[in-house]
Amino acid sequence: MPKIEVILIQNIVGLGGESDLVKVSPGYARNYLLPQGLAVPLTSANKRRIDALKQRRAEREAHEFNTMSELSKSISKLIAVLEVKTGDDGKMFGAVTAGMIADQLKTQFDIALDKRKIHLEHPIKTLGEHDIELRLHPEVSATLKLRIDSSTPAPVPVEAPRGPADRRESSGRTESRGHKRLRDDQPAPAADQPDKAPRPDRKLRPPRPERAEKPAKAPKPEKAQVPEKTDSPGKPA
């Protein structure tokens, strides 16, 4: 079936821009372009609208260029921070996509940007800083600084149990340091220290009298020995 010519009223991705004269299938024009008001059929009356559409397109493109140029300057000064979940080894679960970056720009800076303008050669799968290319306009591009941090808290290191040998070694080091501190803290010998003069306002106490020695105790008298009993007299031996 031969194609027909229509005049685009609005920009259609993959087909053309405003005021462009394009050829499409009759079914596509009849079922989609014309009912949606995206194009008008090519007629002598509609040909006169092309100049007005071109003028409106030029004004719109100039406005988009100025807007995207200002946005490019603003984005170049920003650092977007995106937090992702990671495992114990620090590796990310999944990857960062263009849609996630667009959502973060909207959440963090209130910048509404079509994710198709965020150019990624491949999804990002590593933490740290990355330079993201933004194709804001056919003649305007920008570089966004993106920092990907981990939202998973770092694991707390567990100290390994110490064996008897480690405890003995640690105890030996502690004792060695203790002896060294004692040697360092010992005062200088008495010969090196100057004699201290007595204070004049200090009263000297008289020496205490010596205590008299107690007399020695007299020895206890020995008990008298009782003679042993003998056989009674009168009885022969």
pLDDT of res. 129: 94
CATH number of 72-150: 3.10.430.100
pLDDT of res. 210: 62
Cβ neighbours of residue 25 under 8 Å, at least 6 residues apart? 1, 3, 4
pLDDT of res. 225: 56
pLDDT of res. 216: 58
pLDDT of res. 237: 42
pLDDT of res. 198: 53
pLDDT of res. 235: 47
pTM of the complete model: 0.53
pLDDT of res. 102: 94
pLDDT of res. 190: 52
pLDDT of res. 97: 92
Q: Determine the 3-state secondary structure of 33 from DSSP.
A: helix
Domain ranges, ordered by start, for the chain: 4-47, 72-150
Alpha-carbon span 167 to 163, nearest angstrom = 6
Alpha-carbon span 94 to 92, nearest angstrom = 6
The pLDDT tens digits along the chain (237 residues) read: 688 889 888 888 888 888 888 999 989 999 999 999 898 888 888 888 888 888 888 898 899 999 999 999 999 999 999 999 888 887 888 899 999 999 999 999 999 999 999 999 888 999 999 999 999 988 999 999 999 998 877 666 666 666 565 556 655 555 555 444 445 455 555 545 555 555 555 555 666 666 656 655 666 656 555 555 545 444 444
pLDDT of res. 236: 47
- Which fold, 4-47? Ribosomal Protein L9; domain 1 (3.40.5)
For 73, the enclosing helix (H) or strand (E) is helix 49-75
Residue 106, sorted as left (phi over 0), alpha (psi -120 to 50) or beta, turns out to be alpha
Query: Do 4-47 and 72-150 share a fold?
Result: no
pLDDT of res. 87: 86
Residue 237 vs residues 46, 91, 227, 233, 234: alpha-carbon distances, Å: 181, 123, 19, 9, 9
Q: Determine the 3-state secondary structure of 203 from DSSP.
A: coil
- Pick the closest to residue 33 from 10, 49, 55, 50 (CA basis): 10
